[in-house]
Structure 1
Amino acid sequence: MASVTIKAEALPADWRDFVALTKPRVMTLVVFTGLCGLLAAPVTIHPVLGFTAILCIALGAGAAAALNQWYEADLDALMKRTAARPLPAGRMDKQSALHFGVGLGAFSVLLMGLALNWLAAAILAASILYYVIIYTVWLKRRTPQNIVIGGGAGSFPPLIGWAAATGNVAVLPVLLFLLIFLWTPPHFWALSLFVRTDYAAAGVPMLPVVAGPKTTRNQILLYTIPMGIAAVLPWPLGLSGPIYGIAAVALSLVFLFLAIRVYRNDATEAAAMRPEKKLFAFSVIYLFAIFGALVLDRWMI
């Protein structure tokens, strides 16, 4: 892997660079699933406390993203899609990113514990540590299964939202955790198929790099099936109503259809990977729609 030197004397960072460290686009989905977990809980929470809980989830996600970029500044400098981030671009020094990430994470956990409850705070802390230590430090550079195991990091928000509202954990938020956990591999592998040259240049052992496109497409299809089952399960288990159930079935069938198209595609060039790009785009819509349907179902009952 080519060596990259991050500028020792970074230019003064402004507020936009600190915002960029939190990966706001990724945070949107994290915050939304956390909010849905909170709203789906069988209790009514005071709006101020609800806002505080979601703020803590957002700050915790931002902290994890900042620490991820602090640790991976060398990798980000090697990939086109990440080279303009504050650290590899030289607009911020690594110490500032580290202090920002640690401070933001500690504040989010402490505020969650004091304002809501310590179970939600503990799960929030676990989610931050999982993403930073297990995924970023331990798995990402070592195994093509990094996304599979590391997917747990992004699966916590519904659990956190539910725990913030109720003070406990139940079957429904666990199923929502499982849904996101199983959704993560096909979502990220679809992306990694058409940007695999970036991962190869950085020496990251993503599945398309080490096992090839065909194996990756097989795995996308294999993970889509249990993901769809996890999505639909709350309905037959009596944890949701028909609004959610019908939406989950319909959306999962569309996801499966797109995964089959990816499975049948044999292209090796990014320009010919239209099915992969469509699956990646739909996978984001899928999760927003599934969780939105859950909240609609809960409030229509």
Structure 2
Amino acid sequence: MTHVGQPVTPAQAPVADAEGPSTWKDVVGAYVGLTKPRVIELLLLTTVPVMFFAARGVPDLMLVVWTVIGGTLSAGSASAYNCVYDRDIDEQMRRTRRRALPRHIVTAHSALVFATVLAVVSTAVLWWGVNGLSAGLSLGANAFYVFVYTMLLKRRTTQNIVWGGIAGCFPALIGWTAVTGELAWAPIVLFLVVFFWTPPHTWALALRYREDYANVDVPMLPVVKPAREVGRQIVLYSWVMVATSLALWPIGNLGWFYPSAAAILGAVFLVEAHRMWGRTRGTESLSEIKPMRLFHHSNLYLSLLFVAVAIDPLITR
């Protein structure tokens, strides 16, 4: 499988360095790397603010601590499982060839045990320190990411991150249930915001690394469709995402701060999405399309939107 630009054969793909650990710090760093800390940061940014929203103020700080610990361990477990299953293609991709398994710092068996221990401990922490519903949702998100996205969808369909991205939407539900012990429409709306945010975010990154995905036959949308079509779909998802974010205002009974922030952040995001789509006209050149601008902007958008969710109850009560 190749993308719409110049084909890249598997022979051209870089081979991961075969090296072992030199110090205990290498081993510790490798295990930490298996958890994908940058991903965890983003997931926590969609968990903790929702706890402030659910509490309509400052939640119990020990509850926040237990939720953060359990959520971190659960997300780390899912990422480690993903690294084990994808170690074959990670060796061939420039973006991932420096991970622990391709470098042979950690064995697949050790990583699998590590991921399982994290899953068990995270479920126990959330069950004991938070509540059973939050623990169940966290375990469900972990299982969905591993079995549905990683093992079933990722290598089979261009819709892999659309439906596989559901796993990344669960933190909004977990943050809410940690405080209230039950589900409601407001966290479901936030769940949907993350759901519609995931394709623009991930496809922008996939555009940048489409040769990597093409080399390993992962059918990300930018691999099988021209950049123009990818840009069009990014714009469509972006509009739905912004509309969904504004729906939280009446459903969540929020004050003036959140809708103001959501409108401004959404307008800026839509401008950036349309600009990237415009740059795809007549070209497949990444230097002209600049997909990473939208990728980095998407991280900022989601972070600030959820911060606004947390701040609104504090200043508009």
Residue equivalent to 1:59: 73
- Structure 1 length-normalised TM: 0.95
Residue equivalent to 2:35: 22
Q: CA deviation at 1:48?
A: 1.6
> Is 1:257 aligned to 2:271, yes or no?
yes
What secondary structure, in the 3-state scheme, does the structure 2 residue paired with 1:86 have? coil
Residue equivalent to 1:168: 182
Gapped regions of structure 2 (runs ≥ 5) = 2-9
Equivalent pair of 2:77/2:114 in contact (CA under 8 Å): yes
Percent of residue pairs identical: 39
| Structure with larger RCO (C-alpha < 8 A, sep 6+) | 2
Q: CA deviation at 1:153?
A: 0.7
Alignment of 1:117-128 (within 5 A): 117-128=131-142
Residue equivalent to 1:292: 307
Amino acid at match of 1:73: R
Residue equivalent to 2:193: 179
Residue equivalent to 1:85: 99
- Distance in 1 of aligned mates of 2:115 and 2:181: 27
Equivalent pair of 1:54/1:161 in contact (CA under 8 Å): no
Gapped regions of structure 1 (runs ≥ 5) = none
Over aligned residues, Cα RMSD in angstroms? 2.0
Amino acid at match of 2:288: A
Give the stretch that moved more between structures: 234-243 or 17-26.
234-243
Residue equivalent to 2:287: 271
2:222 to 183, 198, 208: 208
Alignment of 1:106-125 (within 5 A): 106-125=120-139
Q: CA deviation at 1:242?
A: 1.1
- Distance in 1 of aligned mates of 2:18 and 2:253: 54
Q: CA deviation at 1:239?
A: 2.4
Residue equivalent to 1:33: 46
Equivalent pair of 2:185/2:251 in contact (CA under 8 Å): no
Q: CA deviation at 1:237?
A: 3.2
Equivalent pair of 1:152/1:181 in contact (CA under 8 Å): yes
- Distance in 2 of aligned mates of 1:81 and 1:263: 24
Residue equivalent to 1:281: 296
Q: CA deviation at 1:210?
A: 1.1
Q: CA deviation at 1:165?
A: 1.1
- Structure 2 length-normalised TM: 0.90
Amino acid at match of 1:175: V
- Distance in 1 of aligned mates of 2:83 and 2:287: 28
CA-to-aligned-CA distance 1:169-226 (integer Å, 9 cap, x gap): 1111111100000000001111111211111111110001112212111110110111
2:89 to 45, 50, 75: 75
